[in-house]
Amino acid sequence: MTALVPTLGRRLAPHALPLAMFAIVVAFAISEPAFLKPDNLIGIVRQVAITGIMAVGMTFVIMTGGIDLSVGPVLALSGVIAWFSLDAGAPLLVGIAAGLSVGLVVGVLNGLIIARIELPPIIVTLAMLSMVRGAALIIGGPDLHQIRGQEAYAAIGSGNFLGLPISVHLFALVTLLMIFVQKATPLGLLVAAIGENERAARLSGHRTRLTKTALYAICGVGAAIAGIVQSSQVHTASATYGEFGTELDVIASVVLGGTSLMGGNGSIARTILGVMFLGIMNNGMNILNVPIDIQLIAKGAIIALSLALSEAKG
Amino acid sequence: MTARSATFALLAFFAATFAFFCVAAPRFATASNMENLMSGFSFVAILAIGQSFPILLRGIDLSVGAIVALAGMIVFDLELIFHLPGPVILVAALAAATLAGALNGWMVVRLKLQPFIATLATLAAYRGLVYSISGRQLVPGLSTTPIRNPWITGLETYFDLGTTLGLSDWVTLPWFPLGFFVMLAVLAAFHFLLGSTRFGRSLYTVGGNPEAARLAGIDTGRVTLAAYAMSGFCAGLAALLLVARLTTATEALGTGMEMSAIAAAVIGGVSLAGGIGSVIGPVIGAFLLGTILIGLTLLGISQYVQQILTGAILLAAVGYDRILVVRRRRRLEANLAEETRA
C-alpha cells in the first residue's frame, strides 16, 4: 500500500480529476441515457451555478492558505436584504446593490480581522458564520418571504437568454472575469506570491494585508451574488438559506479542483472542473435514485480519496 | 502569563459572569436552573475535552457532531431492533465512536490529509452512515418508541447530594446529574493522562514542534492517531448522555456541535498554534458558554442575538490567545537579544 500509492499517485495525480470525471460520465450515460440529453446537461450547470459562483470567489482565499466558512449565512442575508429593499419599493439595481453590499461588508470584516490582527481564518469565519446567521435571523425572522411582482428580479434566477438560463450566463461571466483577474492582472500574481510565501511577498514590498482583505471581500461578494441568484430562482428569501453544509460543498469544489489548503497552487479554471465534478456526481446519483445516505458517504469518500492522491503527488 | 495563571484568569472571568447573571437574571440562581446548566452542558464539556487533543496537535476535528449521531444511532438500533444487553450496547457505541475518531487520525497520518479536510470529509460520510443505519427508517413504527433500557436511561439519574450530606436544612442545593460526574471523571482521567504520563508529554511535544518531536524519537503518527481516537471516544460518551436525556436518537443529533466544542476549547485556552492548553480550561469554557447562553435566555434576549454573541465570544477568545502568543514571542526575542549581547 505505502509503496503503491506514491508511484500510482504521482503518475495519475495531474489528470486524476478529468479522468475520474470522464469515467463517471460514461458510467452514468450507460446506465441512464437520459443523462446525456442537452436539457439535463444544461440543468447540471444551472444547478451548480450557485455553488460555482461561491467556489470561484473562494479560490483566491484558499490559494493564500485561508478559508471562508461564513459564505452560507452571507448567501441568506444578501437575499433577505435584497428582498427588503425591493419590498420597500427600491429600484431593481438598488436592491441588488444592497444585497451585494452585505457580502462586501462581511468579507472586508473577515479580511481585516484575518490580515490585520492575524487571527486564524477558520475560527474567524466560524465566528462570523454564527454572527451573520444571527443577524440574518434578527432581520428576516425564521419565515420565508415571497418575492412578488418583481419580474426583472425573478428573471435573474429563472429567465432565459440566448437559449441558456441567465444564472448560467452569470456563472460564466463571473468565472471569465476571475480567470482574467488571475491571468492578466497584478492581483492574480500577488495571490500566487502570497500563497507561495507570504513573508517573502511582504518583505519584497507587496501590500499583502490589503490584498488578503480584498480577497475575502471578493469571496463575500461571490456569496452575495449566489444569494441573489438563489432567492430569485425560488422566488423567496429566507434567513435560513445556505444552511450548514453549503460552505463545505464550496470548499470541496475548490479543493477537488486541485487548490491546496496550504496555499500556493490553484486556478479558477480548475475550480470549475471541481464544481462540475461534484455537480455531475450529484445529478447522476439523483437520476439513478441513489439514496441520500449513500450520496453523503460517496461524497466524503471521493473528497478524501482524490485529495490523498494529489497529496501523494507532492 | 503562564498556562496556570491563564486558567485562573478564565476561572475568575467565569465567576464574574456567573455572579452577574445571579444578580441580573431572574431565576438564574435557582437549584433547578443549576440542574439545567449541569445536565445541558456536561456533554458540551466532554466534547470540548475531546476536541482539545486534535487542537493541541495543531489540528481540528469537525466530525464530532456526526460521530455523536453515529454513536447515538448505534444505541438506538442495538436497543430497539436487536435488544442487546445494556453493557454491550454502551461498549459497542463507545467502540464505534473511538473507531470513527481513529479513522480520522489514520487519514491525517497515513493519507497525509489536512485535519480540516479529513474531518470535513468524514463529517459528510459519518452523517451519511447514520442515515443508512437509521432504525427509524429501517423499521417502521420504531421512531416513536422510547429507549427504556435502564443501563442507558440510568445515565440521566440525579443525585440529591444536599440531603445526603445533610446540607439541605441550610440551603436548597441542586440535584446533581450523573452526566456531571461522568464529565468530572473524564476530566480527571484525561488531566492525569496529559499531565503525568509519557503519552501526555509526547502530545505536548508533537503539538509544539512536530519535527523536533520526530527527531527526539517520538512516534508522532501514533500520538496523532490516539489524539483523534480520544476525540471520537469523547463524542461517543457525549452521545450516550444525550440519548439518555432524550430517550431516543435522531439522524440530526449533534448537528453543529463541533462549533460549541471548538469554541469551548479555544475559550478554555487551548492554543490553535498547538502544544499549549489543558483539559480543565475547555471544561470551564463549556460552562462559561452555558452560563452566558442560559443567562441571556433568562434575561429574555432572543436566541438570534445569542448566536451573534457566541460568535463574538469566540472571536474575543482567539483574539486573547493571539495577544498571549505575541507577548510570548516578544519575551523570547527579548531574552535571545539579551543573551547575544551578553
Is A129 within 8 Å of chain B by CB? yes
Q: For A286, list phi and psi in degrees, rounded to 5.
A: -65, -45
For the ranges B82-86, B94-98, B126-130, B271-275, the one whose mean pLDDT is highest: B94-98
- Nearest Cα residue in chain B from A260: B114
- Cα separation of the two ends of chain A: 17
- Nearest Cα residue in chain B from A240: B304
Q: How confident is the model at residue B1 (pLDDT cuts 50, 70, 90)?
A: very low
- Cα separation of the two ends of chain B: 25
Least confidently predicted of A141-155, A193-207, A272-286, B33-47: A141-155
Task: Give me the pLDDT at residue A228, please.
Answer: 93
> Which residues have CB under 8 Å from B121's CB, separation 6+?
A299, A300, A301, A303, A304, A307, B107, B113
Is A13 within 8 Å of chain B by CB? no
pLDDT at A41 over 80: yes
Adjacent-strand bridge partners of B158:
B177
Amino acid at A215: L
Range of the domain at A239: 48-243+259-265
Total Cβ atoms within 10 A of residue B38: 21
B311 versus B234: which is more confidently predicted?
A: B234
d(CA A160, nearest CA chain B) in Å? 34
Task: Give me the pLDDT at residue A133, please.
Answer: 92
pLDDT at A314 over 50: no
Digit-coded pLDDT (tens) for A283-300: 888 888 888 888 888 878
Q: How confident is the model at residue A6 (pLDDT cuts 50, 70, 90)?
A: low
d(CA A83, nearest CA chain B) in Å? 20
- Nearest Cα residue in chain A from B104: A304
Read off the pLDDT of each residue in B59-67 and give the average, rounded to a whole number: 93
- Nearest Cα residue in chain B from A239: B304
Q: For B47, list phi and psi in degrees, rounded to 5.
A: -60, -40
Q: Which of residues 88-117 of A touch B (CB under 8 A)?
A: 113, 117
CATH of B3-167+174-341, one of 1.10.3470, 1.10.10, 2.70.50, 1.10.287: 1.10.3470
Read off the pLDDT of each residue in A292-314 and give the average, rounded to a whole number: 74
Is B305 within 8 Å of chain A by CB? yes
Q: Which of B315, B322, B324, B329 has the most A C-beta neighbours within 10 Å, making it the best mutation to test the interface with A? A: B315
Task: Give me the pLDDT at residue A10, please.
Answer: 58
d(CA B317, nearest CA chain A) in Å? 10
Contact flag A299-B129 (C-beta cutoff 8 Å): no
How many Å is the Cα radius of gyration of chain B?
A: 21
Task: Give me the pLDDT at residue A1, please.
Answer: 45
Contact flag A300-B125 (C-beta cutoff 8 Å): yes
Residue A264: its chain B contacts at CB < 8 A? none
Q: How confident is the model at residue A58 (pLDDT cuts 50, 70, 90)?
A: very high
Residue A298: its chain B contacts at CB < 8 A? 128
Task: Give me the pLDDT at residue B135, please.
Answer: 86
- For chains A and B, count residue pairs whose Cβ atoms are closer than 8 Å: 137
Task: Give me the pLDDT at residue A312, please.
Answer: 60
Digit-coded pLDDT (tens) for B8-26: 888 888 999 999 999 988 8
Task: Give me the pLDDT at residue A9, please.
Answer: 53
Residue B264 contacts residue B44 (beta carbons within 8 Å): yes
- Nearest Cα residue in chain A from B267: A123
Query: A204 vs A207, A208, A264, A265, CA distance in Å?
Result: 9, 10, 17, 20
Residue among A124, A138, A300 minimizing CB distance to B122: A300
Digit-coded pLDDT (tens) for B96-140: 999 999 999 999 999 888 888 889 889 888 998 999 999 888 888
Read off the pLDDT of each residue in A131-137 and give the average, rounded to a whole number: 92
pLDDT at B168 over 80: no
Adjacent-strand bridge partners of A236:
A146
Q: How confident is the model at residue B183 (pLDDT cuts 50, 70, 90)?
A: very high
Q: Residue A163: helix, strand or coil by DSSP?
A: coil
Asked if the structure places residue A272 within a domain, the reply is no
Contact flag A303-B312 (C-beta cutoff 8 Å): no
Task: Give me the pLDDT at residue B71, please.
Answer: 97
| Cell output for B225 | 492517531
Residue B177 contacts residue B39 (beta carbons within 8 Å): yes
pLDDT at A40 over 50: yes
Ordered alpha helix ranges (H), A64-158? 71-87, 92-116, 121-140, 151-158
Asked if the structure places residue A309 within a domain, the reply is no
Residue B184 contacts residue B117 (beta carbons within 8 Å): no
Is A307 within 8 Å of chain B by CB? yes
- Nearest Cα residue in chain A from B132: A293
For the ranges A43-47, A178-182, B83-87, B230-234, the one whose mean pLDDT is highest: B230-234
Contact flag B121-A311 (C-beta cutoff 8 Å): no
Asked if the structure places residue A144 within a domain, the reply is yes
Adjacent-strand bridge partners of A164:
A161
Asked if the structure places residue A122 within a domain, the reply is yes
Distance between CA atoms of A160 and A167, rounded to whole angstroms? 8
Contact flag B318-A120 (C-beta cutoff 8 Å): yes
Residue among A113, A261, A291 minimizing CB distance to B116: A261
Is B127 within 8 Å of chain A by CB? yes
Is B322 within 8 Å of chain A by CB? yes
Residue A312: its chain B contacts at CB < 8 A? 112
Total Cβ atoms within 10 A of residue A87: 16
Residue among A113, A133, A291 minimizing CB distance to B307: A133
| Cell output for A32 | 441512464
Least confidently predicted of A59-63, A164-168, A307-311: A307-311
Ordered alpha helix ranges (H), A141-207? 151-158, 166-184, 186-196, 198-203
Q: Buried b / exposed e across B15-24, counting CB within 10 Å, b at 16+?
A: eeebeebeee
Residue among B117, B129, B304 minimizing CB distance to A255: B117
Q: What is the mean pLDDT of chain A?
A: 86
pLDDT at A15 over 80: no
Residue among A123, A299, A307 minimizing CB distance to B318: A123
Contact flag B255-A134 (C-beta cutoff 8 Å): no
pLDDT at A14 over 70: no
Domains of chain A: total: 1
ipTM exceeding cut-off 0.85 for this assembly: no
Pairing mode, if any, of strands A164-165 and A160-161? antiparallel
Contact flag A296-B256 (C-beta cutoff 8 Å): no
Is B32 within 8 Å of chain A by CB? no
- Nearest Cα residue in chain B from A134: B304
Task: Give me the pLDDT at residue B224, please.
Answer: 96
Contact flag A296-B262 (C-beta cutoff 8 Å): no
Pairing mode, if any, of strands B158-159 and B176-177? antiparallel
Total Cβ atoms within 10 A of residue B193: 16
- Percent of chain B at pLDDT > 90 equals 46
Asked if the structure places residue A297 within a domain, the reply is no
Distance between CA atoms of B161 and B176, rounded to whole angstroms? 7
Read off the pLDDT of each residue in A139-145 and give the average, rounded to a whole number: 85
Amino acid at A157: G
What contacts 24+ positions apart, CB below 8 Å, involve A90-98?
A: A92/A150, A92/A152, A92/A153, A95/A153, A96/A153, A96/A228
pLDDT at B215 over 70: yes
Is B112 within 8 Å of chain A by CB? yes
Going A157 to A158 to A159 to A165, the CA torsion angle's sign is: positive
Residue among A118, A255, A294 minimizing CB distance to B132: A294
Digit-coded pLDDT (tens) for B274-318: 888 899 999 999 999 899 888 988 988 888 888 888 888 888 888
Ordered alpha helix ranges (H), chain B? 3-24, 31-56, 64-80, 86-109, 115-133, 135-138, 150-153, 161-164, 178-196, 198-208, 210-215, 220-246, 257-267, 280-298, 303-341
Digit-coded pLDDT (tens) for A223-244: 999 999 999 888 888 888 888 7
pLDDT at A89 over 90: no
- Nearest Cα residue in chain B from A124: B315
